[in-house]
């Protein structure tokens, strides 16, 4: 095999990620069994272990893990691995411990096998490059085409002004500084004139990209102003993802060499394993875990649980054929009560709960496995586009622009991820960014 084929010939490089992935799965199981299922039982978590399903889930998980070791290096593989870690693994955990339907694990496993296998087919053809490899010492600067720059800032300024006019009276510094009280701020939010889309694009994609660009370009005044606008959006809305986006930019700036290199997946696995070890220590010492309650529960276990609810709800109501999406609203066939609220009332006991979930659940509700397959094809197409941009402008700015939208893939419907989630605006910006060096001057 050639060095660039993506095959990991070094036994250490092959075995270590496998061991880390299996240990990650084991700790996800331990946390669920000893802590989460009892403390958060009112949300629908429970313990009903099926030993046969436990064996099957580990067998399928190990097979996927082994196949995934042959992914080529690069941001596309990091994306697939992230979905495997944060979406598929919790699903494989809940399947045996909640004794869920076999369809739940079969559909999820098939979706991820298709994504991984397809990535094996094309990823080795592209030369992957990070920012450092693109002559960073040769004074690289990012430039956005003028019309794209104007459009992006129009979106930001318009949404900021409109949201401020309609929501300034609800600003509460005390509430937004206390992460437990931010939901009170969100409950009073008003999004007029399409600002639900524009605000999401601004805070998840546009402003994080500009923060990174201005840092690289050493434009300190513009950098300060952009950070201030991002913080102002948080004061207005209380959405923690806004602060998370800024944190991601800082992490990329400070730890670039650890994230974007040949060991990026191994480093990610070490980080998440360390977080889980710390969480288990928290549980043992304090009978409580801040990390689990405020981060892992919402990011990992809840999407997996809601995926099951969506598949179960489909058996009761039949397929939705995307009538609840933007297409349904345009065509006038959308129901008065969205399925996400119906599911919130039926399974969580609250009619006001908007129980949204990722593509394995939402797209199954739309068209069963075919709906899930459409989502998988889109993700494959998205990864292929990312591979193309990666060699032109580096991994870092792509990572920053895409991490917010990609998070919505396992927390929202596919069309929501594309539109409200910001995938479409991220692809637009990436297509208009150019990296310049001294050689271009």
Q: Is residue 414 assigned to a domain?
A: no
For residue 146, the enclosing domain spans: 134-256+436-440
- Contact yes or no for 95/105 (Cβ under 8 A): yes
Q: Which pLDDT does position 122 carry in this prediction?
A: 43
User: Do both 333 and 353 map to the same domain?
Assistant: yes
Q: Which pLDDT does position 312 carry in this prediction?
A: 93
Which residue ranges of the chain lie beneath pLDDT 70? 1-13, 72-73, 121-140, 172, 174-187, 328, 331-333, 437-441
Among 272, 188, 201, CA closest to 230: 201
Tally of structural domains, the chain: 2
Q: Which pLDDT does position 431 carry in this prediction?
A: 92
Report how far residue 434's alpha carbon sits from residue 100's, in angstroms, rounded to the nearest whole number: 49
E strands of 343-390, at which residues? none
User: Do both 205 and 56 map to the same domain?
Assistant: no
Q: For residue 428, give Cα distances in angstroms to 147, 416, 419.
A: 12, 17, 12
Q: Is residue 427 assigned to a domain?
A: no
Q: Which pLDDT does position 195 carry in this prediction?
A: 85
Q: Is residue 199 assigned to a domain?
A: yes
CB neighbours of residue 246 within 10 Å: 18
Q: Look up residue 324 and give its two tokens.
A: 């609840």
Distance of CA 265 to the CA centre of its chain: 16
Q: Is residue 339 assigned to a domain?
A: yes
Q: Which pLDDT does position 179 carry in this prediction?
A: 61
DSSP 301-320: IHHHHHHHHHHHHHHHH---
User: Do both 289 and 369 map to the same domain?
Assistant: yes
Q: pLDDT tens, 13-52?
A: 678 889 999 999 999 999 999 999 999 998 899 999 999 9
User: Do both 21 and 48 map to the same domain?
Assistant: yes
Q: Which pLDDT does position 43 carry in this prediction?
A: 87
Q: Is residue 422 assigned to a domain?
A: no
User: Do both 125 and 272 map to the same domain?
Assistant: yes
- 436 forms beta bridges with 141
Among 321, 405, 423, 316, CA closest to 362: 321
Report how far residue 138's alpha carbon sits from residue 51's, in angstroms, rounded to the nearest whole number: 59
Q: Is residue 324 assigned to a domain?
A: yes
User: Do both 92 and 20 map to the same domain?
Assistant: yes
Q: Is residue 325 assigned to a domain?
A: yes
Distance of CA 338 to the CA centre of its chain: 23
Q: Which pLDDT does position 2 carry in this prediction?
A: 42
User: Do both 10 and 39 map to the same domain?
Assistant: yes
Q: Look up residue 310 and give its two tokens.
A: 């969506």
User: Do both 214 and 266 map to the same domain?
Assistant: no
User: Do both 208 and 275 map to the same domain?
Assistant: no
User: Do both 280 and 237 map to the same domain?
Assistant: no
Q: Which pLDDT does position 6 carry in this prediction?
A: 43
E strands of 281-367, at which residues? none
């Amino acid at each position: 095999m050639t060095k660039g084929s993506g095959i990991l010939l070094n036994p250490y490089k092959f075995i270590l990620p496998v061991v880390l992935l299996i240990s990650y799965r084991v700790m996800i199981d331990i946390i669920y069994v000893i802590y989460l299922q009892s403390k958060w039982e009112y949300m629908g978590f429970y313990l009903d272990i099926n030993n046969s399903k436990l064996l099957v889930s580990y067998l399928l998980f190990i097979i996927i893990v082994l196949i995934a070791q042959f992914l080529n290096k690069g941001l596309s593989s990091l994306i697939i691995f992230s979905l495997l870690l944060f979406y598929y693994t919790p699903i494989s955990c809940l399947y045996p411990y909640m004794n869920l339907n076999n369809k739940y694990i079969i559909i999820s496993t098939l979706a991820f096998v298709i994504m991984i296998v397809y990535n094996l087919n094309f990823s080795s053809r592209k030369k992957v490059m990070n920012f450092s490899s693109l002559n960073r010492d040769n004074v690289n600067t990012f430039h956005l085409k003028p019309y794209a720059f104007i459009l992006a800032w129009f979106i930001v300024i318009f949404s900021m002004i409109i949201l401020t006019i309609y929501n300034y009276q609800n600003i509460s510094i005390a509430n937004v500084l206390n992460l437990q009280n931010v939901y009170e701020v969100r409950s009073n939010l008003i999004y007029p004139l399409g600002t639900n889309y524009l605000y999401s694009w601004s805070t998840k994609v546009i402003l994080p990209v500009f923060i990174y660009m201005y840092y690289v370009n050493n434009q300190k005044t513009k950098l300060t102003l952009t950070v201030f606008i991002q913080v102002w959006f948080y004061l207005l809305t209380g959405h923690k993802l806004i602060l998370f986006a800024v944190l991601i930019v800082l992490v990329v700036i400070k730890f670039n060499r650890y994230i974007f290199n040949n060991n990026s997946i191994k480093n990610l696995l070490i980080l998440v394993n360390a977080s889980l070890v710390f969480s288990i220590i928290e549980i043992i010492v304090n009978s409580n875990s801040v990390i689990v309650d405020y981060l892992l529960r919402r990011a990992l276990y809840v999407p997996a649980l809601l995926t099951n609810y969506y598949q179960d709800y489909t058996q009761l109501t039949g397929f939705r054929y995307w009538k609840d999406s933007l297409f349904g609203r345009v065509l006038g066939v959308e129901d008065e009560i969205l399925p996400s609220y119906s599911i919130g009332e039926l399974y969580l006991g609250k009619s006001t709960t908007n129980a949204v979930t990722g593509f394995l659940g939402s797209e199954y509700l739309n068209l069963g496995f075919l709906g899930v397959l459409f989502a998988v094809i889109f993700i494959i197409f998205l990864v292929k586009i990312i591979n193309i941009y990666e060699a032109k402008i580096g991994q870092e700015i792509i990572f920053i622009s895409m991490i917010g939208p990609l998070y919505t893939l396992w927390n929202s419907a596919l069309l929501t991820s594309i539109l409200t989630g910001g995938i479409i605006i991220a692809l637009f910006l990436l297509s208009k960014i150019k990296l310049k060096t001294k050689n271009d001057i």
